[in-house]
Amino acid sequence: MKRIKIAPSLLACDFSKLADEIEAVEKAGADMLHIDVMDGRFVPNITIGQPVVSAIRKVTRLPLDVHLMITEPMEHIKSFIDAGADIVSIHLEACNHLHKATAMIKDAGKKAGISLNPATPVVMLKDIIEELYLVLIMTVNPGFGGQKFISSTLKKIKELDGLKRELNPALMIEVDGGINVQNSASVVKAGADIIVAGTAIFGSKSYKGAIEKLKSVRDE
Ligand code: DX5
Ligand code: ZN
Protein backbone atom coordinates (compact mmCIF):
# COMPACT_ATOMS: atom_id res chain seq x y z
CA MET A 1 0.00 0.00 0.00
CA LYS A 2 1.35 3.38 -0.94
CA ARG A 3 1.46 6.13 1.66
CA ILE A 4 -0.85 8.97 0.67
CA LYS A 5 0.05 12.50 1.72
CA ILE A 6 -2.65 14.95 2.72
CA ALA A 7 -2.35 18.66 1.99
CA PRO A 8 -5.15 20.68 3.61
CA SER A 9 -6.04 23.69 1.48
CA LEU A 10 -6.05 26.71 3.76
CA LEU A 11 -8.53 28.44 1.45
CA ALA A 12 -11.31 26.66 3.33
CA CYS A 13 -10.05 27.49 6.83
CA ASP A 14 -11.25 30.28 9.11
CA PHE A 15 -8.80 33.03 8.18
CA SER A 16 -9.65 34.98 11.33
CA LYS A 17 -7.97 32.15 13.26
CA LEU A 18 -5.27 31.21 10.77
CA ALA A 19 -2.58 30.16 13.27
CA ASP A 20 -5.05 28.04 15.25
CA GLU A 21 -6.34 26.37 12.11
CA ILE A 22 -2.79 25.53 11.04
CA GLU A 23 -1.96 24.11 14.45
CA ALA A 24 -5.15 22.04 14.37
CA VAL A 25 -4.45 20.42 10.97
CA GLU A 26 -0.81 19.89 11.92
CA LYS A 27 -1.92 18.00 15.05
CA ALA A 28 -4.53 16.16 12.97
CA GLY A 29 -1.85 14.62 10.74
CA ALA A 30 -1.45 16.94 7.74
CA ASP A 31 1.69 16.24 5.70
CA MET A 32 1.98 19.72 4.18
CA LEU A 33 -0.09 22.88 3.84
CA HIS A 34 -1.58 23.78 0.47
CA ILE A 35 -1.66 27.53 -0.14
CA ASP A 36 -3.80 28.80 -3.02
CA VAL A 37 -2.45 32.02 -4.50
CA MET A 38 -4.92 33.69 -6.89
CA ASP A 39 -4.47 36.99 -8.68
CA GLY A 40 -7.89 37.88 -10.07
CA ARG A 41 -6.50 37.49 -13.60
CA PHE A 42 -5.53 33.87 -14.22
CA VAL A 43 -8.58 33.00 -12.11
CA PRO A 44 -11.44 35.30 -11.09
CA ASN A 45 -10.68 35.20 -7.38
CA ILE A 46 -8.01 37.00 -5.30
CA THR A 47 -6.64 35.26 -2.23
CA ILE A 48 -3.24 35.03 -0.56
CA GLY A 49 -0.02 36.96 -1.22
CA GLN A 50 3.57 36.78 -0.02
CA PRO A 51 3.05 38.54 3.36
CA VAL A 52 0.54 35.90 4.39
CA VAL A 53 2.88 33.10 3.26
CA SER A 54 5.61 34.65 5.47
CA ALA A 55 3.21 34.76 8.40
CA ILE A 56 2.26 31.11 7.86
CA ARG A 57 5.96 30.16 7.68
CA LYS A 58 6.43 31.53 11.21
CA VAL A 59 3.81 29.30 12.79
CA THR A 60 4.49 25.87 11.28
CA ARG A 61 7.23 23.46 10.35
CA LEU A 62 5.09 21.70 7.77
CA PRO A 63 6.22 22.07 4.15
CA LEU A 64 4.40 24.90 2.38
CA ASP A 65 2.94 23.75 -0.93
CA VAL A 66 2.29 26.97 -2.82
CA HIS A 67 -0.09 26.73 -5.79
CA LEU A 68 0.34 29.80 -7.97
CA MET A 69 -2.83 30.49 -9.95
CA ILE A 70 -1.39 33.67 -11.38
CA THR A 71 -0.39 35.03 -14.76
CA GLU A 72 3.33 35.57 -15.35
CA PRO A 73 4.37 33.30 -12.47
CA MET A 74 8.08 33.82 -13.20
CA GLU A 75 7.76 37.39 -11.91
CA HIS A 76 6.80 36.10 -8.48
CA ILE A 77 8.59 32.78 -7.97
CA LYS A 78 11.49 34.32 -6.06
CA SER A 79 9.33 36.36 -3.71
CA PHE A 80 7.19 33.35 -2.79
CA ILE A 81 10.34 31.31 -2.13
CA ASP A 82 11.70 34.14 0.02
CA ALA A 83 8.39 34.12 1.88
CA GLY A 84 8.89 30.45 2.77
CA ALA A 85 7.49 28.23 0.01
CA ASP A 86 8.98 24.70 -0.10
CA ILE A 87 7.10 23.51 -3.17
CA VAL A 88 6.11 25.97 -5.89
CA SER A 89 3.61 24.93 -8.55
CA ILE A 90 2.91 27.08 -11.57
CA HIS A 91 0.23 26.61 -14.20
CA LEU A 92 1.22 25.37 -17.63
CA GLU A 93 -1.48 27.63 -19.09
CA ALA A 94 0.09 30.71 -17.47
CA CYS A 95 3.72 30.26 -18.50
CA ASN A 96 5.45 30.12 -21.88
CA HIS A 97 8.83 29.14 -20.42
CA LEU A 98 8.18 26.18 -18.20
CA HIS A 99 11.71 24.84 -18.37
CA LYS A 100 13.16 28.17 -17.30
CA ALA A 101 10.57 28.66 -14.58
CA THR A 102 11.09 25.21 -13.07
CA ALA A 103 14.86 25.74 -13.20
CA MET A 104 14.38 28.97 -11.19
CA ILE A 105 12.54 27.04 -8.50
CA LYS A 106 15.09 24.20 -8.40
CA ASP A 107 18.10 26.54 -8.46
CA ALA A 108 16.66 28.14 -5.33
CA GLY A 109 16.76 24.69 -3.69
CA LYS A 110 12.99 24.18 -3.76
CA LYS A 111 10.67 21.62 -5.30
CA ALA A 112 9.05 22.41 -8.62
CA GLY A 113 5.55 21.51 -9.74
CA ILE A 114 3.41 22.16 -12.77
CA SER A 115 -0.35 22.32 -12.60
CA LEU A 116 -2.83 21.47 -15.35
CA ASN A 117 -6.36 22.79 -15.73
CA PRO A 118 -9.03 20.16 -16.43
CA ALA A 119 -8.94 20.78 -20.22
CA THR A 120 -5.15 20.73 -20.61
CA PRO A 121 -3.83 17.37 -21.83
CA VAL A 122 -1.25 15.49 -19.80
CA VAL A 123 0.91 14.89 -22.88
CA MET A 124 1.90 18.58 -22.81
CA LEU A 125 4.22 17.64 -19.92
CA LYS A 126 6.12 14.92 -21.72
CA ASP A 127 9.29 16.93 -22.31
CA ILE A 128 9.44 18.52 -18.86
CA ILE A 129 8.24 15.74 -16.57
CA GLU A 130 11.76 14.56 -15.70
CA GLU A 131 12.48 17.98 -14.18
CA LEU A 132 9.55 17.95 -11.80
CA TYR A 133 8.91 17.01 -8.19
CA LEU A 134 5.16 17.01 -8.74
CA VAL A 135 2.38 17.46 -11.22
CA LEU A 136 -0.79 19.00 -9.87
CA ILE A 137 -3.88 17.80 -11.69
CA MET A 138 -6.78 20.19 -11.18
CA THR A 139 -9.92 18.16 -10.59
CA VAL A 140 -12.08 21.32 -10.67
CA ASN A 141 -11.66 24.54 -12.62
CA PRO A 142 -9.30 26.62 -10.47
CA GLY A 143 -10.57 29.70 -8.68
CA PHE A 144 -12.74 28.59 -5.79
CA GLY A 145 -12.94 26.02 -3.04
CA GLY A 146 -16.00 23.87 -2.50
CA GLN A 147 -16.62 22.91 -6.14
CA LYS A 148 -17.74 19.55 -7.48
CA PHE A 149 -15.09 17.04 -8.53
CA ILE A 150 -14.91 16.63 -12.35
CA SER A 151 -14.84 12.87 -12.83
CA SER A 152 -13.37 12.99 -16.36
CA THR A 153 -10.08 14.04 -14.72
CA LEU A 154 -9.64 10.45 -13.48
CA LYS A 155 -8.45 9.31 -16.89
CA LYS A 156 -5.89 12.14 -16.89
CA ILE A 157 -4.54 10.97 -13.54
CA LYS A 158 -4.19 7.45 -14.97
CA GLU A 159 -2.48 8.76 -18.07
CA LEU A 160 -0.07 10.80 -15.96
CA ASP A 161 0.65 7.74 -13.87
CA GLY A 162 1.68 5.94 -17.06
CA LEU A 163 3.96 8.78 -18.09
CA LYS A 164 5.42 8.84 -14.58
CA ARG A 165 6.28 5.13 -14.66
CA GLU A 166 7.99 5.58 -17.99
CA LEU A 167 9.86 8.84 -17.43
CA ASN A 168 10.04 9.85 -13.75
CA PRO A 169 9.03 7.16 -11.24
CA ALA A 170 9.75 9.49 -8.30
CA LEU A 171 7.19 12.05 -9.50
CA MET A 172 4.42 12.91 -7.05
CA ILE A 173 0.94 13.15 -8.53
CA GLU A 174 -1.11 15.72 -6.64
CA VAL A 175 -4.85 16.16 -7.12
CA ASP A 176 -6.75 19.29 -6.20
CA GLY A 177 -10.41 20.25 -6.09
CA GLY A 178 -13.57 18.62 -4.83
CA ILE A 179 -11.79 15.68 -3.21
CA ASN A 180 -13.63 14.15 -0.26
CA VAL A 181 -13.86 10.88 1.64
CA GLN A 182 -16.34 9.53 -0.93
CA ASN A 183 -14.14 10.00 -4.02
CA SER A 184 -10.61 9.87 -2.59
CA ALA A 185 -10.29 6.13 -3.24
CA SER A 186 -10.91 6.66 -6.95
CA VAL A 187 -8.15 9.29 -7.33
CA VAL A 188 -5.70 7.13 -5.38
CA LYS A 189 -6.57 4.12 -7.52
CA ALA A 190 -5.92 6.24 -10.60
CA GLY A 191 -2.46 7.18 -9.30
CA ALA A 192 -2.65 10.15 -6.90
CA ASP A 193 0.07 10.45 -4.24
CA ILE A 194 -0.92 13.77 -2.64
CA ILE A 195 -4.52 14.73 -1.94
CA VAL A 196 -5.39 18.40 -1.53
CA ALA A 197 -8.58 18.90 0.44
CA GLY A 198 -10.14 22.11 1.67
CA THR A 199 -13.83 21.74 2.38
CA ALA A 200 -13.53 18.02 3.19
CA ILE A 201 -11.18 18.84 6.08
CA PHE A 202 -12.06 22.34 7.31
CA GLY A 203 -15.77 21.72 6.83
CA SER A 204 -15.72 18.63 9.01
CA LYS A 205 -16.19 18.47 12.77
CA SER A 206 -13.06 16.39 13.27
CA TYR A 207 -10.04 17.38 11.18
CA LYS A 208 -8.25 14.28 12.43
CA GLY A 209 -11.13 12.04 11.43
CA ALA A 210 -11.30 13.59 7.96
CA ILE A 211 -7.54 13.34 7.39
CA GLU A 212 -7.49 9.74 8.58
CA LYS A 213 -10.36 8.80 6.27
CA LEU A 214 -8.73 10.52 3.29
CA LYS A 215 -5.43 8.82 4.08
CA SER A 216 -6.74 5.36 4.75
CA VAL A 217 -7.75 4.66 1.14
CA ARG A 218 -5.89 1.82 -0.49
CA ASP A 219 -4.70 1.72 -4.05
CA GLU A 220 -5.03 -2.03 -4.49
C1 DX5 B 1 -9.10 25.65 -6.34
C2 DX5 B 1 -7.94 25.45 -5.39
C3 DX5 B 1 -8.10 24.31 -4.46
C4 DX5 B 1 -9.28 24.42 -3.52
C5 DX5 B 1 -9.62 23.07 -2.98
O6 DX5 B 1 -8.79 26.63 -7.27
O7 DX5 B 1 -6.74 25.25 -6.12
O8 DX5 B 1 -6.91 24.07 -3.73
O9 DX5 B 1 -9.05 25.30 -2.47
O10 DX5 B 1 -10.74 23.18 -2.18
P11 DX5 B 1 -11.83 22.03 -2.08
O12 DX5 B 1 -11.15 20.84 -1.48
O13 DX5 B 1 -12.86 22.64 -1.18
O14 DX5 B 1 -12.33 21.78 -3.47
ZN1 ZN C 1 -4.91 24.53 -5.04
Residues 6+ apart with CB under 8 A from 182: none
* Rounded (5°) CA angle 214-219-220: 140
Measure CA of the first residue to CA of the last residue in the chain; give whole Å: 7
CA 207/CA 211 separation, integer angstroms: 6
pLDDT, tens digit only, all 220 positions of the chain: 689 999 999 999 999 999 999 999 999 999 999 999 999 999 999 999 999 999 999 999 999 999 999 999 999 999 999 999 999 999 999 999 999 999 999 999 999 999 999 999 999 999 999 999 999 999 999 999 999 999 999 999 999 999 999 999 999 999 999 999 999 999 999 999 999 999 999 999 999 999 999 998 754 5
pLDDT computed for residue 218 by the predictor: 59
- Our answer on whether the CB atom of 22 is closer than 6 Å to any ligand 1 atom is no
- Tell me how many degrees the CA angle 190-166-139 measures, rounded to the nearest 5: 30
- In the Cβ-directed half-sphere of 201, how many Cα atoms lie within 13 Å? 34
**Which member of 31, 36, 39, 65 is catalytic?**
36
Contact 191, 158 (CB under 8 A): yes
Q: To test ligand 1's pocket by mutation, which of 21, 141, 147, 195 has the most ligand atoms within 8 angstroms of CB?
A: 147
| The pLDDT value given to residue 112 | 98
Nearest Cα neighbor of 67 from 196, 189, 206 is 196
Q: Can you give the pTM of this predicted structure?
A: 0.97
Tell me whether residue 82 is one of the annotated catalytic residues: no
On whether the CB atoms of residues 178 and 159 are closer than 8 A, the answer is no
- Residue 5 phi/psi, 5-degree rounding, is -100, 145
Q: What pLDDT shows up at residue 15?
A: 98
Q: Is 36 in the pocket of ligand 1 (CB under 6 A)?
A: yes
Ligand 1 neighbourhood includes 147 CB (under 6 angstroms) = yes
Confirm whether 161 is a catalytic residue: no
**117 CB less than 6 Å from ligand 1?**
no
Report CA(162)–ligand 1 centroid distance (Å): 25
pLDDT at 216: 86
